[in-house]
Amino acid sequence: MYSAYSLLLTLVLLAWSPSLLLGALGIGRRRDGWRERLGRYPEPLVARLQGVHPVWLHAVSVGEVAAASVLAALWTTRRPTLSLLVSTVTDTGREVAKRSFPKAAGVVYFPLDLPMIVHEALAAVSPRLILLTETEIWPNFLRACAASKIPVVMINGRISPRSFQRYRLVQPFFRPVLQGIDLFCMQSAADAERILALGASPERVRVVGNLKFDVTPPADASSRAEQWRRELKIESGQPVVVAGSTHAGEEEALLRAFMRLRQEFPSLLLILAPRHPDRLAGVEALIAGNGLTAVRRSQLAGTRDGATQIVLLDTIGELSALYAVGSVAFVGGSLIPRGGHNLLEPALHGCPVVFGPHMENFAEASAFFVERGAALQVKNTERLAEELAGLLRDPAARDRMGKAALEALVAHRGACERTVALLEQYVS
């Protein structure tokens, strides 16, 4: 089965071979990235890691990096000599990881999951422990770790209903793969039940909660918010909708809602953050096609005036902070069947949260927030404009929702402490 999996992955990579070859040869901007994905890490980094045996923490992208950084901060405070190597998959995750883990031995790309490549990567790093976030399950990598007797722990583990159905199709193969993970620190009882159903050993599964609830705003959050208001030229009392992590199909709905809202709230500002930065040009064309004006965040200095209606976020790692200036936040990936994105970031700033019907990836958290009056879930795009208008009209309702969101966060904290307590057995 492993051979069949490796062959399938190789065929997929061959389909991408022109891009892979150009990147590996340095033709283009991803030479270093592709070398690292082939398990060839920079020689100075490999030299620094000799004899260190770091903890290798893998966080696929921005959201996972944020959660993992909270865990790392607590653990390294208690163990100052603990060395960390951080890996990501996405370019945005890498950029945020460099800022979030300033004391890490290095930040690299995760290797492609082929036997020779993962063996080379593990030999170069020689980790004492591997931490995989959420749903990062790589069969050949796990098999190589088991062969080298390197313990692997899944932290902040979750298995969405959609992922569960896909994994069930290959359960005979998946069951032995899961034996390569020594401990599963799952977010919820439902996640634990799914990983058990897929073949994890019961004695290795623990429910510890969601690390993202333990994220706290920076000490200078208020001053940062004021700085954003000045930079965006947001007037006192001016309404702002922050739409984060949006996908194709959602921007159209948001622009329709925005145009309706502007009839009642002429000064309304929309801060729009597409999930994938490479879609920005298309989103700009969509905005212009609707007769609206927009400016990119990177071009803000001296350009925004009262005529600008939309700010497009084209920078990395700033969305969470921008929620602090929002009157209302919309969480993307939820009006279309993408499973939703992180609703905890706007909640962290006491910003009322609205999302669509598809929040499967955050089912427990979204239901908890709705039940506590800390968020609103809309059934369709028509209801989106109505609910946003209702909140923009009612400052008291926004204040109640914001406070309820902060209370919901506090009620679910503690996953970080529980996870660190379980990880101690692997480094003592």
Catalytic sites, residue numbers:
64
C-alpha to C-alpha distance for 63 and 284, rounded to whole angstroms: 25
C-alpha to C-alpha distance for 178 and 195, rounded to whole angstroms: 9
Q: What are phi and psi of 392, to 5 degrees?
A: -65, -30
CA distance to 13, 325, 389, 390, per residue, from 397 (Å): 51, 17, 12, 9
C-alpha to C-alpha distance for 257 and 38, rounded to whole angstroms: 45
**Hey, is 86 helix, strand or coil?**
strand
- State how beta strands 294-296 and 269-274 pair: unpaired
Q: What is the DSSP string of 224-289?
A: HHHHHHHHHTPPTT--EEEEEEE-TTHHHHHHHHHHHHHHH-TT-EEEEEESSGGGHHHHHHHHHH
**Burial (CB count <10 Å: 0-12, 13-18, 19+), residue 190:** middle
Planar angle of CA 142, 145, 148, nearest 5 degrees: 155
Rg from Cα positions in the chain: 22
Q: What is the DSSP string of 395-420?
A: HHHHHHHHHHHHHHHHHT--HHHHHH
**Hey, is 354 helix, strand or coil?**
strand
| First-last CA distance in the chain | 36
Q: What are phi and psi of 110, to 5 degrees?
A: -70, 140
Residue 239 carries which side chain, given as an amino acid letter? P
**Burial (CB count <10 Å: 0-12, 13-18, 19+), residue 58:** buried
**Hey, is 240 helix, strand or coil?**
strand
C-alpha to C-alpha distance for 194 and 428, rounded to whole angstroms: 31
